Structure 1
Amino acid sequence: MGDSSLEELDLTGFDMTKLPSSSYNKYVMTLFFQNTNSLKSLKLSDKFRIWGTDDTNVELPEILPNNEYSGKWENIGSGTNENPNGKDVWTSKELTQNFNLNPKNDTYVWQPISNKAADLTVKYLDTNGNKISADVVKSGDIGDTYTTEQKSIAGYVFKNVQGNVTGTLTDQAQTVTYIYKVDQSTLNVKDSTIYTGDKWKPQDNFVSATDVDGNDLDFSQVTVDASNIDTNKEGTYEVIYSYGGLTQKAKITVKLNQTNVESANINPITSQDVVITGILPAYGETNTGQKIELSYSSAAMFSLNNKVYNQNTVSGNQMFNYSITRLNKDYYTFTFTLPNGEVFASGDKLDWFIIPATLPTGSPQLSQKLSTEIIVGELKAVVNVHDSSIYVGDTWKAEDNFDSALDKDGNKVGFSQMTVDDSKVDITTAGVYDVTYTFDGVTSNAKVTVKDRQTAVNVHDSTLYVGDTWKAEENFDSAFDKDGHKVDFSQLTVDDSKLDPNTPGIYDVTYTYDGVASTAKVSVKNRQTAINVHDSSIYVGDNWKAEENFDSAFDKDGHKVDFSQLTVDDSKVHTSKAGVYDVSYTYDGVTSIAKITVKDKESTILPSEDDKNKEKSSEKNIEKINTKKTTSEGSMSENKLPETGEARLVVVATMIGGLAILLISVLMAKKQVKK
């Protein structure tokens, strides 16, 4: 008899697997659990067995269901006594009957009625179903309300949601899925530099923009803040461009616009000279690239050894003769002649000189470039050379950079009298090299810049088919000159003389520019395009489709082509009218014709009643004739039957007659031949 106050029972210490099966009936658990109405926890092991028979009841009390318990036992599994989560959910009777089928180490408790709701999972996926943010799981009790949130995910924009974004938790698992698409929106701007007085608008610094779907946006759809820029004042300004959640800043640098003028170039002055000569620029150029023509005044002045000379009468200044003449469209020449027979002496110092220039009204102000101080040198030899640039592999000699030379008396000196040091020049390696030219103690230096040759011709191979049209430009990609500047195809020399587009083969085509050649291989293949169809016959009223007369088709490479890729003209076919019709099947310029013959159906003529009567009468006459013949033959048979010997004679006679006829025929044929 059980204990009615017992709430927990541990039976794991029982090992009932070692009892012989013959003992089972002796140890049945008659009334083993009787009256254990309070038993809520039953701890069992895989070695415990609940033995009973049809006549024996272990009397485990059934659980009465209520607000707390379902009325069934449940194994704990990985849960707890309060929250079991096992898979065995049985009544008391089912527990005593089923445990032995799969005994286990576990505790069976009364199954509590839980108010806990199933979880709700919020997922965040892209349009391909890929997770782009961590799931959010919401838990609670049945009946609790929930709200889900749309996340802001970098690189994506919300598209739609699947499921209820708000609702109530239930005992069933729920899922809400937020779908996002890739955000393809872009906004690109650029910095720039302008000059005071220039016209400027925000669109000048806008490059491009796209919306979330990657579609190009018009500038009008972009928001711009350019409130702080002043194009009439030097400075660096920020302009803000916005679209959606994107913001970009462009820097606008405003510089002072000036007219820049080259410094005057004064020829060397040596002792005993009485004239200063040089050149002046005829034009200035603004920062924005605008050319401004200069006008020079008749006034000029200079300072020699801190003594001021002026063309006009100025108190305390010496006078001199001054002239300015247009040399060409870009330069003027000028001369200052010392007054009163004065000459320059070695060591004299020309401190400065001024030849005022004026600009057209409204031009940007003149940027002053003052002449540098010049010291009058001794009368000596002059060697004039110039700098130059060549390219790796070019031929070069020192004489190329020599201009002229004079001895100290002003006599011309040839290049052969120069002492030249060009030992550092390496025309196979890019670099800047100094070359010195020396005569009578005077040395001049020329810089020879050797540049990498960037000449290149880029072409590609190709394949065409017999009969195709082809131009050499089709295989040309790009070309560059020795400075890396792009070269047009028209500047190349092309040799395609070997190519025959009507004969299969592989041909070389050469493209040459400035000594650099590239070869493209043009493969000419046989065109294997073919369409195979067949003729057919049908009858008026039959169903017919163009595909029925199609056998096969192949493209120019011999690959099979599906019927759906053909162009078919069956417009002339009338299946309701007898005739012969052409159906054309075309693919890639090849056409085949199938003939469709539509025939009239043959008529079936039913006999009339008169014909039927005549036929019956004829049949009766035939029967009568056959009857008479049979009777006659029968009578003959009855009158005389041949003897055995007579029958043989008849057969032999017949054979001899046949041979005779054959022999006569042969003889007659021979006579005909002779004639």
Structure 2
Amino acid sequence: MDHRKIVKATASMLLLMNASQQSIMTFADHLDSGQMTEELVSSTIEEPTENSVMETAENEAMDEQQISETPESSATVPSEVPTQPTTETTPDVNAEVEQSTVDSTVPTTVEQEVTDVSSAPVIPDPNAKTECFEIEVTEEQLASGVFGSSPWRIDQEGVLYIDAGTLGETTLAARAPWFPHRSLIKKVVLTGPVVANAESLGLFFDLNQLTTIENLTNLDTSQVTNMDYFFAWCQQLTSLDLTTFDTQNVRSMNHMFNGVSSVSTLDLTNFNTANVTEMSHIFYGMSGLTSLDLSSFNTTNVSNMSYMFYDCSALKTLDVTGFQTANVTNFSHMFRGCSGLAQLDLSSFVTSQATEMSFMFHGCSGLQALDVTHFDTSNVMYMHYMFHGCSGLTELDVSRFDTTNVTSMYYMFFGCSGLTALDVTNFSTTNVTTMSFMFAECLNLETIDVSGFDTENLRFMRGMFRNCQKITELDLSHFKTGKVQLQQEMFAGTTSLSKISLGVQFYSLNDTNIPDLLATEEHTGYWQNVGSGTDDVPLGEYVLSSSSLMSTYENSMADTYVWQPTASESIRAIDSTIYVGDSWEPIDNFVLATDPNGESIPFDESMVTGTVDTTTAGVYPVTYTNGSASQQINVTVEESQETLKVTDSTIIVGDTWTPSDNFVSATDKTGEAVAFDENMVSGEVDTTQVGEYKITYTFGRLSREITVTVIASQEAIKATDSRIHTGDVWHPSDNFISATNRAGDTLPFDESMVSGTVDTGRTGNFIITYTNGEASQKITVTVVENRETIQAKNGSIYVGDKWAPSDQFVSATNKDGEMIVFDESMVSGTVDTTKAGDYPLTYTNGRATEEVMVVVKENGETIVTKDLQLYIGDTWDPSDGFVSATNREGFTLAFDQNMVSGDVDTNKEGTYTITYTNGSVSETSQVTVSKRGTTGGNANTGGGNTQQKKTANTPATQKRQVQGNAAKNLPKTGEIQSSAAVLGLALVGGAIGTYIYNKKKNRND
């Protein structure tokens, strides 16, 4: 035996008995000196009696469960964290050590099942140094100092004043400076704005005389990340106003309100818990709370909810409908002791990550209903005490629980006294090591089916069915108890138990406390194995009292044991149901009969009175008699609900046919569906020959004939040859025409119909096969050279010219090399004839392309003219008004008669407008014809012609506009006088000229 394990259990017992520190140290000294023996342990620990076990089971107050040699439950309290008010030093710990009384014939190692071992509370040192600056204490003050930058003081009235500033850090190692004086503080006053430190663990921890916190709204908690133990064990505090608390940065709220037992209401609707990951023990021990609304809590990141509402015994309503629990792994003790709750809505709970559910609803005795059908328990390892004491529940559906990974189930349903039935047939118990008291004290439980339990690894089943007073039978035929060490009181108090089935791997009944059987008129006070008999008439060789059965039973005696009936004549028959038309014999309902010595006797017709009319539906009583024993049974004759449905069918030559193909359904006499059977069929179908075949189906008294018609196949496929060009895209569907199945129904094209490929990258003939079932067709796809071409040319034009895409097109041929006409769709790109530039164009014909460039040039065309002054009778030539001209390239052009439009009548006085045109530009010349001796225009001595050059480089189409604009340009101020002066000089010159001319003429005369 491992003595250290014994020591561990014994130390727990010493704590339970409030042993002195010296006793524990003495015990430890034995261990250190190597003197610890099994005898020392046994002398220290008394084996628990039946009463002590009962008392322990009823009064256990557990913080942690351990099973020797098995993984420990994760629902543990950190050893460094105080778990009780530090002003109370007596730990609330119970421990139980069990001694094995296993049959010596079964090799096993004796171990202890230790339950409810709690860590002793850590008591903070009142003299521990804190991070504060101490101020000299005056007669008016009990204590004072500066914490962080906030001065504080405790006056003679027990009022703790905290002045404005920023508080220092509080941790387990560095508590608030007023902590040593906590029993003196009755009131806290925050005199100004106080900023709480990020680490504010236990800021008001264990102020056990505190009744009021004044100006709590002055406390700025926006920087706090740790609120563990914030108000823990402020037992006298009656109210808390936390409406201004900013908790957006808080990560941990463990034990925040632990032990705040006098507060009856708590408004946390403003709490922002989005970043909180730890909430264990947060409301632990708030026994004064009557309602709590946490529907606004965001628990998305919370992983630990253990002990969350532990001992909130006054709670009548608890709203956790908004909880998001997808990341929670630990639910242990969550609602433990919430005895006032009648309803609990957990519909939002997601438990897929949970590994711990022990004690989850322990002591919720007020619950009337609890829906856990949606719980995903596939990862849960611990379920012990889960529903312990839920005595108000009348129904509990755990049929969907996945318990594959569960190792502990002890006390799981202990005290669920309101349950009458419990379905655990789907429980997987392969890994379970302990089931002690699992169903104990389920006083009204009438049936429990544990026949499917795998107990291969089970070691503890003590008190498993204790006081299940209404259970009449237990099927333990598949139980394997080879590793079981503790089974005391397994059947204690099962006073209605009258049938128990044991298998060959159930090794011992020692100390299982099977209740004594009473002797009645119908039964003896003994157990008898059924043997070759029945439950009512057992014929087994073992007839034993309860104590004898427990002391003598070994696995070789495996059988079903029943409460032995008293010896007398007996007869047994059974009810039956038959159907109209069936045959019936009295022996059909006979089971057995025995003489007064219990010996079996054969059936005899004389035992029977009563008849059965099998042609008419009804209930017929029949009495079976054997001496003084008789039994009446009922033979019920019902109308037969036999049915048989089959159907005709049409198949194709070559199809496979089986008789089940035409079978639709059948029902037996009771109306239950019956599967097809080959024996129902007579007749054959030749699927190789066209024809009609008759097949007969028979079931019971029903017969149906159907016709199977075999027809020729209409399977076909059609495809066509085609001719394509290199580079074309080809799809197998291009050549497909149609296909039909064997029944003649049209089939859509499918790629699987085609074999063969076409290489469109080269010329050639490609054979493609199209197949549909047994039909196929080969076609040829001919690939010829693609002779698509296109030719286009570059070009240049001038701004203002007309241009069309066809201007650059030269020629094109199709795939077969045939010439094709130009089409606008061949061209991509545009030319802006109003703007000089280079314009790329692409001409495309199928896969042939050619790129060209159209250059739009500036237009260099100009023409220059001059006005003329002539006299009547002078000769006018169009070239007289022409000065110069240039073509588009800017080269000089000679005068050409084609440039001129208009005429001059030199015999008639007047002004004539002559238009000179050069390509797209034009200009006018004004020819003035006047009488000699008159002054018209600006006369010149040089032949009398007035010459004024006019230059035109404006396109002719714009000439009118230019002239129009010129006409609108009126002379500015001063221009009229200048013109008059010129005109005057011209008149004078003209007069002089006339004078000279006349003088010469007279001289000649």
What band does the TM-score fall into relative to the shorter chain?
0.3 to 0.5
Q: With CA pairs under 8 Å and 6+ residues apart, which has the higher RCO, 1 or 2?
A: 1
TM-score, structure 1 as length reference: 0.33
TM-score, structure 2 as length reference: 0.24
